[in-house]
Amino acid sequence: MVRIITDSTSDIPQTDGEALGITVVPLTVHFGSASFRDGIEMSKKEFYERLAAAETLPTTSQIPPGEFTALFQSLIDKGDEIVGIFISSEMSGTYQSAVVAWEQVNTEKIHVIDSRSATFELALLVHEAVRCSDKGMNSKEIAERIQSLIKRIRLFAVIDTLKYLKMSGRISTATAFVGGVLGINPIIAIINGKVESVGKSRGRKAGLKIMDDLIAADPPDTDYSTVFGHSNAPEALKTTEEYFVKSYNISDYFEIEMGITVGTHVGPGAAGIAYIAKE
């Protein structure tokens, strides 16, 4: 049996992971001296409530190699094969921890992948791995398929507030103040494994138009699923879905709520799309 493993920055809920046969290993999020296992001891709702009240941004701890070693060994001992798909190595040391564990268990039945992504972009790759497994592909074939898709994965989202980008040091206080006064909404993407700003707009509607221009230049391959995601913003999610589903003839899609990795830097109110681009 091929076991698909990811980390909690994929924002796949533990219950969904269990239903799909995915093992979701939690990172630890720290608010001051208080620590919580992401998705287990802290829900998305609780995360955003704490984030709104925080004077400094929370931090995260990568998953230690020993935790991966124990998990990998237990599955290999059962005769399983493993495909692990993890948060971008540019954002966390979790992937490197998985590599260390893979080297310790030392078997060709384990394939560890740096997704160069996070949140609903990572979730899309994990769901595709499950689909490949359901088709009967072995671990090597699944890993090769996912590796081939990484360069084609895209994520775009409109941010509602500049507050958290300022708190994280990604923009200056002056820029945040002026942007807030003018009602600026940044548009973000994940590029080369990092969250980057790719545009700005006056209001969400204008932001969706900029996203539309970016997507039109690099459209989705509808042979694959699409993901719509948000950060504690179900209405913004609905608006985003309505904008793009019909325009791009998207019929196969699912929803993800953004959590600790990207959510810490963009705050509540963000909504966007992730997809596999046409070759």
pLDDT in tens, 164-176: 765 655 444 434 3
The number of residues in the chain equals 279
Q: Are 262 and 91 within 8 A, CB to CB?
A: no
Q: Which two tokens stand for residue 216?
A: 């039109």
3-state secondary structure of 22: strand
Instruction: Give residue 111's region: left, alpha or beta (phi > 0; psi -120 to 50).
Output: beta
CA-based nearest residue to 25, from 44, 35, 40:
40
Crossing angle of the two packed helices 139-150 and 119-134, in degrees rounded to 10: 150
Cβ atoms within 10 Å, residue 208 = 24
Q: Which residues are CB-contacts of 104 (< 8 A; sequence separation ≥ 6)?
A: 65, 69
pLDDT for 183 equals: 59
Kindly report, residue by residue over 16-52, the tens digit of the pLDDT.
999 999 999 999 999 989 999 998 998 888 999 998 8
**Residues 262, 8: Cα–Cα separation, whole Å:** 12
Query: What average pLDDT does range 187-216 have in this prediction?
Result: 90
Residue carrying the six token digits 């394939």: 111
pTM metric for this prediction: 0.92
